[in-house]
Amino acid sequence: MITRRTLRRHHLFRPDEQMRSLFVYALAVSARKHGIVVHVATLMSTHEHLVVTDVAGVLPDFLRDLHRWVALGTKVLRRWEGPVWDHEPSSIVVLRTRDAVVQKSAYAIANPVLAGLVREAREWPGVQTRPRDIGRGVLKARRPAMFFDPENEQWPESVELELSPFPSIAGGWSAEEMRRAIEEEVARQEREARAEVRSRGAAFLGARRCQSVVPHKRARSHEPVRKRNPTFAVGRGRAAELREAVLELREFRRAYHDAMSRWRAGDRAVTFPAGTWSMSRTHGVVVGAVSRAA
């Protein structure tokens, strides 16, 4: 699951048709270029949520292109000076179990409701995935008029992005069973969000008002700072899987620290643990094979 926010939570991704086309186009082109499989995509006015499978181990390249193209297009569309994305790196959470896939996918889909914007996720006017779209839906967009040069073969006139079913982590569940589980989890999260809004005596903003928000204004809702930025999720109540994930992460960091120490000492034949990215791309270090099934 990938999340990244706009600079200081400005509403630069206001859910109008031009922004929807820009984001879907950039997402489709980048996913096709890097072989990324997209399952869920939600674009809020201040941030993105994606659930994807990185088949070839090139997620940083995919995010580099996606975020660059979205930023450059947004600068033109919104007449925006300076950075579009927040200076913090993207949040990338590995979904290690079927429960984690269901819960995080539902979170991404239900996010407009959780944010107090619309009563049901299907009312969100921006880029949105419904549970029934996973594995059979298609996002379509024509080449935006801004930034993307029609004379450049890199930018096709139109694109289609299939929302693929989840891979083997589904644990034997069929695509329909996964869709149903996610749909039930979305409904649960929506009910909790509506109850929370009622308890505050507040009201949902509504789709029409969401589309009329000024892009240069900032979100005013409270958001805690310096909260945890997790690197994996296992789902609620999965203590054994949580312990396993923690141990694997600690082992990776220990092995990486040891390899880096040896490399700095001059050992250019040292093997870095599977998952090493920057040192492999920048310095061509040897990286070990993956020891755990994806």
* 277: enclosing H helix or E strand: none
The pLDDT value recorded for residue 291 is: 63
The pLDDT value recorded for residue 229 is: 81
The pLDDT value recorded for residue 224 is: 60
In this prediction, the residues of the chain whose per-residue pLDDT falls under 70 are 168-171, 222-227, 291-294
Pairing of strands 158-162, 286-287: unpaired
Pairing of strands 91-92, 2-5: antiparallel
The pLDDT value recorded for residue 172 is: 74
The region, left, alpha or beta by phi > 0 then psi within -120 to 50, assigned to residue 202 is: beta
- In the chain, where does DSSP find H-type helix? 17-34, 59-78, 98-114, 175-199, 207-211, 239-264, 278-283
- What pTM does this model have? 0.93
53 strand-pairing partners: 37
The pLDDT value recorded for residue 151 is: 93
Measuring CA to CA, which residue among 44, 85, 52, 82 is closest to residue 68?
85
Q: How far apart are alpha carbons 101 and 170 in whole angstroms?
A: 8
Backbone angles phi, psi at 283, to 5 degrees: -115, -5
49 strand-pairing partners: 3, 42
Residue 189 neighbours by CB distance under 10 Å:
19
The region, left, alpha or beta by phi > 0 then psi within -120 to 50, assigned to residue 36 is: beta
* 272: enclosing H helix or E strand: strand 271-272
The pLDDT value recorded for residue 169 is: 61
Cβ-proximal residues to 249 (8 Å cutoff; 6+ apart), any chain: 231, 232
